[in-house]
Structure 1
């Protein structure tokens, strides 16, 4: 699995928040992303293990931050268990949503992949359950994704298609622009790709 590193910043004032070190790759049935996050002083702050099927649906989510852990999957919408990392049974939740989202850039790739596989095309309205550090409390969000352009960049005999999406939060009116190249986020509010030890993979939706 290729390795990379994102730097994370406050989208409002640009203050550094730390970094996310990740590995991701397509597999026989979809795509997998694993990462660990670190504060600016190098202290670990969380982890993510996300697996999608060929249609972009989350078949396995394991997310940790501070004292909390989420385990979830696409089941009757999406279903999850939120528990303390200290132990205990946790609390189960379910929502009529299509996938999960959160602070990791991985969720931007996952949502784009879900929409690419949809019959309506590479954009549209999508309901997601968001888990935001540090407490990972579930929150349902409605977003509208619009593919505004695709540019092909050629380098060293290889080409990379870069998709630009406009993402609108339908509750707050907040608008973001994100740039995706294969299975990595090239740029988004609060996210910059700093290192990648191999070319991004191209994700092709399919049954």
Structure 2
């Protein structure tokens, strides 16, 4: 079961933006990722099914919590969620929402792994995907359209044998900002604004 520490920073100027201590593993549903923010004021618990769809997602950032998962709206794949204050005495109204997108995204590297699993690209393939993003610090939902391309898979030597690393080019289609994501199984080795600081056990490739 991989576990370790990710750090976050502003991709433009390098300003530190915290991080999270994580663990992830295959499970009965498909795959599960849990993490706690380095400042203790956030967490994520994400469970995917075998197709990469979010069976259950809970994200906490500061004073806000979102719980959601996959559903169907008008016969189309969708996600639904409830956004509420962590402390109901501050804001006692929970807001429900849904969107015709197949999955969620956000700051956590868990969502990069989840999107890659959802798309299931082969080397050389590319696709556009529309996601529901929850951004810090208030976890307000908004649509995000991205283009993903799996440009190749390279094997890197390690003491325990070759490590396959997938290279994805990812573009935010609203802003035109592009970046490169390197995945080794269910661990993000590097991505825009994300660094793997520590890894205490090897990635899963199942």
Partner of 2:75: none
Q: How do residues 141-180 of structure 1 correspond to structure 2 at under 5 angstroms?
A: 141-180=144-183
Q: How do residues 41-120 of structure 1 correspond to structure 2 at under 5 angstroms?
A: 43-76=39-72, 77-87=78-88, 88-116=92-120
Instruction: Say if 2:2 and 2:204, in contact at 8 Å, map to a contact too.
Output: no
Instruction: Say if 1:163 and 1:179, in contact at 8 Å, map to a contact too.
Output: yes
- CA drift of 1:29 comes to 2.5
Stretches of structure 2 that go unaligned for 5 or more consecutive residues are 73-77
- For residue 195 of structure 1, the aligned residue among 183, 194, 198 is 198
| Cα distance per residue 1:68-108 (max 9 Å; x no partner) | 10000011200000011112351110000010000001100
Q: What's the C-alpha RMSD, in Å, of the aligned pairs? A: 1.6
- 3-state SS in 1 of match to 2:198: strand
Q: TM-score with structure 2 length normalisation?
A: 0.91
Instruction: Say if 1:115 and 1:123, in contact at 8 Å, map to a contact too.
Output: no
Count of residues in Structure 1 that have an aligned counterpart in Structure 2: 197
Stretches of structure 1 that go unaligned for 5 or more consecutive residues are none
Instruction: Say if 1:109 and 1:185, in contact at 8 Å, map to a contact too.
Output: yes
Q: Distance in 2 between matches of 1:128 and 1:195?
A: 29
- 3-state SS in 1 of match to 2:201: coil
Aligned in 2, Cα 1:150/1:47: closer, same or farther, shift over 3 Å? Answer: same
| Cα distance per residue 1:119-144 (max 9 Å; x no partner) | 9x964111100001110000101111
Q: TM-score with structure 1 length normalisation?
A: 0.90
- CA drift of 1:60 comes to 0.3
| Cα distance per residue 1:28-83 (max 9 Å; x no partner) | 33110000112xxxx32310000000100000000001111000001120000001
| Cα distance per residue 1:123-178 (max 9 Å; x no partner) | 41111000011100001011110011110123224222101111111111111111
